[in-house]
Amino acid sequence: MSEITTVNSSKDVANYDPDKGLKAIAVAEAAEKYYARAKDSTALEAAIVAKLTGQRDFVIWWDGQEKDKGGGDVRNTDNRPVIGVKAEKFGLDLMTVSRWRSRLKSETKFAEQLEKAHARCIKVCETPSVLYPRAVNSGNNEWYTPEKYIKAARDVMGAIDLDPASSDVAQETVQAAEHFTPADDGLALPWHGRVWLNPPYAQPLITHFVEKLTKEWGSGHLTAAILLTHNYTDTKWFHLAANSCSAICFTRGRITFPDANGNACSPTQGQAFFYFGKNPAAFADRFSSIGVVLGRMP
């Protein structure tokens, strides 16, 4: 874990801006919730560390202020009065500040909280399916592609020869000629024919599956493939897929996925279908009812 710089010196305290500090805590808390749903352990831990560090910084600054007996006026470290500053001004109560103090102010307790954060990230992001944790921003590990999208993929490719990141339950809908489960480890096996791929969305697995797909396609082992992911256009793996495919369909709205219990689940963003093949016109014709289709420039 990287070294954390906190507000420890009197100079740091004098320069600390509590409004900006609390805003940073709020941003970190929102990021924590997001990455917990996405089961991105690296980003989740970074968000929690930022939150805890921000809370500790605020406590150190707060305790450096002189408060009158009424809990109102405070003085900065250079004894300049700041009239009417109370915890309520920052949207806090004294109990919250006290809780942060007891958990974080001492370096020993702060280190303990960082260790607990690390352990929590591992626990949150672990799934029963160790190889293929399918994280789609709900906390659920398995969301299945609705049948109408599988049918659209089959209409374009003619059939599905291989689903390399799947399960027996998913195959009730996909019905590929061959499929790999987590126990098979599809990343270690050769791919062939016409591939349907709805990969696990947690890192680093999604990157590994996209890299595997583009490598198999580039090597000529596949005749066609359709990849379904979230539309994370800022990620390295998204650009890798986009630069390798023949066309992309960005969905109109979000896909509602059924989970293992048949419940309808919706992610927090839209999706994208990547087409790898020699007939992008057929893909565009079939998927244009699903979203906007963009093709590669010649």
What's the pLDDT at 67? Answer: 54
User: Tokens at residue 218, please?
Assistant: 């580039």
Nearest to 136 by CA among 37, 227, 70: 37
User: Tokens at residue 231, please?
Assistant: 């539309």
Q: How far apart are CA 130 and CA 183, in angstroms?
A: 9
Contacts of 297 (CB under 8 A, 6+ apart): none
Which parts of the chain sit beneath pLDDT 50?
1-11, 68-85, 127-141
CB atoms inside a 10 Å sphere around CB 155 = 13
Contact (Cβ atoms closer than 8 angstroms) between residue 194 and residue 158: yes
User: Tokens at residue 255, please?
Assistant: 């896909």
Angle at which helices 280-287 and 147-157 cross, to 10°: 150
User: Tokens at residue 170, please?
Assistant: 């998913």
What's the pLDDT at 220? Answer: 96
What's the pLDDT at 284? Answer: 97
Which CATH number is associated with domain 147-295?
Answer: 3.40.50
Contact (Cβ atoms closer than 8 angstroms) between residue 176 and residue 163: yes
What's the pLDDT at 66? Answer: 58
Element at 210 (helix H, strand E)? helix 205-218
What's the pLDDT at 191? Answer: 97
pTM: 0.56
What's the pLDDT at 124? Answer: 65
